[in-house]
Amino acid sequence: MRPGSNKPRIILLGVNHKTAPVEIRERLALKDIEPSPLELFSNLSCCEEAVFLSTCNRVEILASSKNHEDAADTIKRLWLEKGGLSTVDLSKSIYSYKDRQAIRHVFRVASSLDSMVVGEPQILGQLKEAYRMASKAGSSGLILNRLMHKAFSVAKRVRTETRIASQAVSISYAAVELAKKIFGDLSGKKVLLIGAGEMAELAAQHLLTNGVDKIIVANRTLERAVELARSLNGAAISLDEIEDAMIEADIVISSTGAPGIIVKKEQIKKILRPRRHRLLFLIDIAVPRDIDPAINDIDNVYLYDIDELKDVVEENKAEREKEAQKAERMVEAEVIKFISWMDTLDVVPIIQKLQEKAERVRLQEMARSQKRLGELTQRQRDALEILTKSITNKILHDPVVCLRKGLPENERDQVLAITCKLFGIDDGNNNK
């Protein structure tokens, strides 16, 4: 067998939001099976190491194997069987990567370059949890340990050296970012939520994490207002009370399903004096609109509707794409470094055997020489030791440097085989 042909390889198989519908992803997540998916795949004889990642948007198996083709086929067969899928369904949805492609994919996933929303932070935490489970189960070893830790450091570098996550790319978060631009610090601010829609709720949660002091929820159904207010640690009121609530509010977010205007220009004019003309920020994310567009004519009142927020989001997405290009270059540089490290996995043992053989020859020749030279002083023995070590090190220097620097893929196996043959050493695959 050629040297290098039995070295560990990295393989990755998976499906994600771009390749498979949710019903396929749910089946491949294998949530209700025993043993667990991680145990199932790590117990395969062809998989030396394994990490299993399952999120709402992707299911992936990362493995290390000395026979990547056999491992990939075995994983697919097992996935088909346990997921209850047809070969056609799986083949249309699955992607399969090895070595360089697999490494690049892991780095891109960790850096949120392969996410539905580029730059979102959740995937890194999910990947860390998958690795934690693999470490706990003992299914991650030398190769995947290094790969995962490198993926985490790549993701950290992307976040700190680019602005990939600094731009709001959801309607709810864009609303919060605009509020921060208008008020600066949001701590101590009061929020009135009109309606209990999902986007308004998300915006309210973002506002809470940014330090707002109090949230009041107004809804047509008071029970729903009470339920949402409780989850936000706020207060609930009826729609009839919103005018009074706006006197105290700094930020108003409206997202009802009402057919007409709920907040009128006359109402805002009426509360200006009680508010002492404090700045008021209104966000209308309802369709049709809840808030009278004419309100924008009033001093110290800022109104944004959903179309304006969408424009902000699109601008931010374009900005993220520019930052993503920088991140891709960082990822590619780290992939090259990791491949270089992997290339040393089969070279290092050969270098060690080369050095060991040279040392054996040196010691044998030293012993022979000492018999011929007779009794030597300690100083003479030390000088001979230094001389012979220097000679062997200098002879080995060029071949060792050549091997350590890495070899072209198309020459790799041939050079390693010739090295073993020239120096008469075991390549690890023969029984010499």
Residue 306: per-residue pLDDT = 83
What's the residue count for the chain? 432
Task: Give the number of other Cβ atoms within 10 Å of residue 125's Cβ.
Answer: 10
Is 318's pLDDT higher than 60?
yes
pLDDT one-digit tens code per residue, 50-76: 999 999 889 999 999 988 788 999 999
pLDDT one-digit tens code per residue, 281-300: 999 988 788 999 999 999 99
Task: Give the number of other Cβ atoms within 10 Å of residue 281's Cβ.
Answer: 22
Task: Answer for the pair 8, 420: CB distance below 8 angstroms, yes or no.
Answer: no
Report percent pLDDT > 90 for the chain. 46
Q: What is the largest CA-CA distance in the chain?
A: 114
Amino acid at 351: I
Residue 268: per-residue pLDDT = 95
**Cα–Cα distance measured from residue 184 to residue 164, given in angstroms and rounded to the nearest whole number:** 22
Residue 259: per-residue pLDDT = 85
Find the helix or strand (DSSP H, E) in which 13 lies: strand 9-16
Is 5's pLDDT higher than 60?
no
Is 350's pLDDT higher than 80?
yes
Domains in the chain, please, with CATH?
9-161 (3.30.460.30), 171-314 (3.40.50.720), 341-423 (no CATH)
Mean pLDDT for the stretch of residues 113-125: 82
The residue behind tokens 């025993």 is: 34
Task: Answer for the pair 15, 107: CB distance below 8 angstroms, yes or no.
Answer: no
**Cα–Cα distance measured from residue 186 to residue 204, given in angstroms and rounded to the nearest whole number:** 12
Nearest-10 crossing angle of helices 171-183, 306-373:
100
Does the global pTM surpass 0.85? Answer: no
Is 2's pLDDT higher than 50?
no
Where is pLDDT greater, at 424 or 148? 148
* pLDDT band for position 432 (cuts 50, 70, 90): very low
DSSP E strands: which ranges in 278-375? 280-284, 301-305
Q: Give the 3-state secondary structure of residue 337.
A: helix
Residue 97: per-residue pLDDT = 96
Contacts of 39-43 with CB under 8 Å at 24 or more apart are 39/137, 39/139, 40/78, 40/82, 41/75, 41/78, 42/134, 42/137, 42/139
Residue 170: per-residue pLDDT = 67
Residue 230: per-residue pLDDT = 92
* pLDDT band for position 3 (cuts 50, 70, 90): very low
Is 87's pLDDT higher than 90?
no
* Average pLDDT in the chain: 87
Q: Give the 3-state secondary structure of residue 379.
A: helix
Where is pLDDT greater, at 252 or 375? 252
Choose among 179, 178, 185: nearest CA to 312. 178
pLDDT one-digit tens code per residue, 324-341: 889 999 999 999 999 888
Q: How is residue 291 annotated by DSSP?
A: B
Task: Answer for the pair 241, 228: CB distance below 8 angstroms, yes or no.
Answer: no
Mean pLDDT for the stretch of residues 383-398: 91
Mean pLDDT for the stretch of residues 203-224: 88
Tokens coding 396: 């080995």
Lowest mean pLDDT: which of 173-177, 225-229, 353-357?
173-177
Instruction: Tell me the CA distances in angstroms from 8 to 197, 199, 280, 347, one per residue in order.
Output: 51, 48, 62, 12
Find the helix or strand (DSSP H, E) in which 347 lies: helix 306-373
Residue 277: per-residue pLDDT = 85
DSSP E strands: which ranges in 150-279? 190-194, 214-219, 235-238, 251-254
Choose among 27, 33, 32: nearest CA to 15. 27
**Cα–Cα distance measured from residue 203 to residue 212, given in angstroms and rounded to the nearest whole number:** 11
Enumerate the active-site residues.
56
